[in-house]
Structure 1
Amino acid sequence: MTRAMAAPASPHAAPLRLGFLGVGWIGRHRMEAVLASGLAEACAVCDPSPDMVSSARALSPTAFAAGSLDDLIDARPDGIVIATPSALHAAQAIRALEAGIAVFCQKPLARTGAEVAAVIDAARAANRPLGIDLSYRHAEAMRLVRAHIRAGEIGTVYAVDLTFHNAYGPDKPWFYDMALAGGGCVMDLGVHLVDLLLWTLDFVPVEAVSADLYRGGRRLRRPADEVEDYAVVTLGLETGAVARLACSWGLNAGRDAVIEAIFHGTSGALSLANVAGSFFDFTAELRRGTQRQVLAGPPDDWGGRAIVAWADRLAAGGGFDPDTANHRAVAGVLDRIYGR
Structure 2
Amino acid sequence: MNELISEEDAAAGRRLQLGFLGVGWIGRHRMKAILDSGVAEAAAIADPSADMAREAQALAPDARIVADLAAMFDQNLDGIVIATPSANHAEQSIRALGAGFAVFCQKPLGRTAAEVKAVVDASRTADRLLGVDLSYRHTEGMQQIRQLIRSNALGSIFAVDLTFHNAYGPDKPWFYDKNQSGGGCVIDLGVHLVDLALWCLDFPSVINVTSALRAGGKRLESKDRVEDFAAATLTLAGGEIIRLTCSWRLHAGCDAEIGADFFGTEGGASFRNVDGSFYDFAAVRMSGTSSETLALPPDNWGGRAAVDWARRLARGERYDPACENFIAVAEAIDGIYGAGG
TM category (shorter chain) comes to: over 0.9
Moved >6 Å (runs of 4+): none
Aligned residue in 2 for 1:39: 39
Residue 133 in structure 1 maps to residue 118 in structure 2: no
In the other structure, the counterpart of 1:211 is 211
> For residue 236 of structure 1, what is the aligned residue in structure 2?
235
**Could you list the per-position Cα deviations for residues 59-118 of structure 1 after superposition, in whole angstroms to 9, with x for gaps in the alignment?**
000111111111111113100000000000111111110110000000000101111001
Partner of 2:151: 151
Shift of 1:220: 1.1
Q: Hey, what's the Cα distance between the residues in 2 that align with 1:120 and 1:241?
A: 27
CA deviations on 1:238-267 (whole Å, 9 max, x unpaired) are: 111111000000000000100000001112
Superposed, 1:91-170 pairs within 5 Å as: 91-170=91-170
* AA matched with 1:136: Y
> Aligned to 1:117, what secondary structure does the other structure show?
helix
Q: Distance in 2 between matches of 1:173 and 1:76?
A: 34
Gap runs ≥5 in structure 2? none
1:285-324 to structure 2, matched below 5 A, reads: 285-324=284-323
Decide whether the 8 Å contact of 2:109 with 2:132 is kept in 1. yes
Q: Is the 8 A contact 2:214 2:227 kept in 1?
A: yes
Using the alignment, how far apart are the partners of 2:252 and 2:164 within structure 1?
Answer: 11
Q: Is the 8 A contact 2:97 2:128 kept in 1?
A: yes
How far the C-alpha of 1:7 sits from its partner, in A, is 7.2
Paired with 1:205 and 1:111, the residues of 2 have a C-alpha distance of 20
Corresponding letter in the other structure for 2:261: I
Match of 1:72 in 2: 72
Per the TM alignment, residue 197 of structure 1 is displaced from its structure 2 partner at its CA by 0.6
Q: Secondary structure at the match of 1:338?
A: helix
Q: 1:21 corresponds to which letter in structure 2?
A: L
Partner of 1:83: 83
Q: Is the 8 A contact 1:213 1:231 kept in 2?
A: yes
Q: One-letter code of the match for 1:258?
A: E
Number of aligned residues? 336
Q: Secondary structure at the match of 2:73?
A: helix
Q: Tell whether the 8 Å contact from 2:205 to 2:236 is kept in structure 1 after alignment.
A: yes
- 1:171 offset after TM fit, Å? 0.4
**Amino acid across the alignment from 1:80:** I
Cα distance between partner residues in 2 of 1:24 and 1:7: 27
Superposed CA deviations along residues 151-177 of structure 1, whole A, max 9, x for unmatched, are 112111111100000000000000000
Contact 1:7 1:127 in 2 (8 A): no
**Partner SS, residue 203 of structure 1:** coil
1:60 equivalent in structure 2? 60
Cross-structure match for 2:187:
187
Name the structure 2 match of 1:248: 247
Is the 8 Å Cα contact of residues 205 and 237 (structure 1) preserved in structure 2?
A: yes
Amino acid of the structure 2 residue aligned with 1:206: V
- Please say if residues 85 and 174 of structure 1, whose CA atoms lie closer than 8 Å, have aligned partners that are also in contact: yes
Which residue identity lines up with residue 291 of structure 2 in the other structure? R
Distance 2:122 2:263 in 1: 38
CA distance in 1, matches of 2:20, 2:5: 21
Letter in 2 for 1:238: A
In structure 1, what is the Cα distance between the partners aligned to 2:210 and 2:312?
A: 37
- Cα deviation, residue 34, structure 1: 0.2
Q: Percent identity?
A: 58
Shift of residue 8 of structure 1? 7.0
Q: What are the Cα deviations for residues 129-151 of structure 1, in whole angstroms up to 9, with x where unaligned? A: 10100000000000001101111
Relative distance call for 1:7 and 1:49 in structure 2 (3 A) is closer
For the aligned residues, what is the CA RMSD? 1.3
Distance in 1 of aligned mates of 2:308 and 2:223: 36
Task: Tell me the TM-score normalised to structure 2 length.
Answer: 0.96
Give the Cα separation in 1 of the matches to 2:154 and 2:101.
42
Partners of 1:307 and 1:30 in 2: CA distance: 6
Distance in 1 (alpha carbons) for counterparts of 2:219 and 2:139: 34
- Which residue matches 1:278? 277
* AA matched with 2:75: A
Q: CA deviation at 1:333?
A: 0.6
Work out whether residues 224 and 338 of structure 1, in 8 Å CA contact, stay in contact via their aligned partners in 2: no
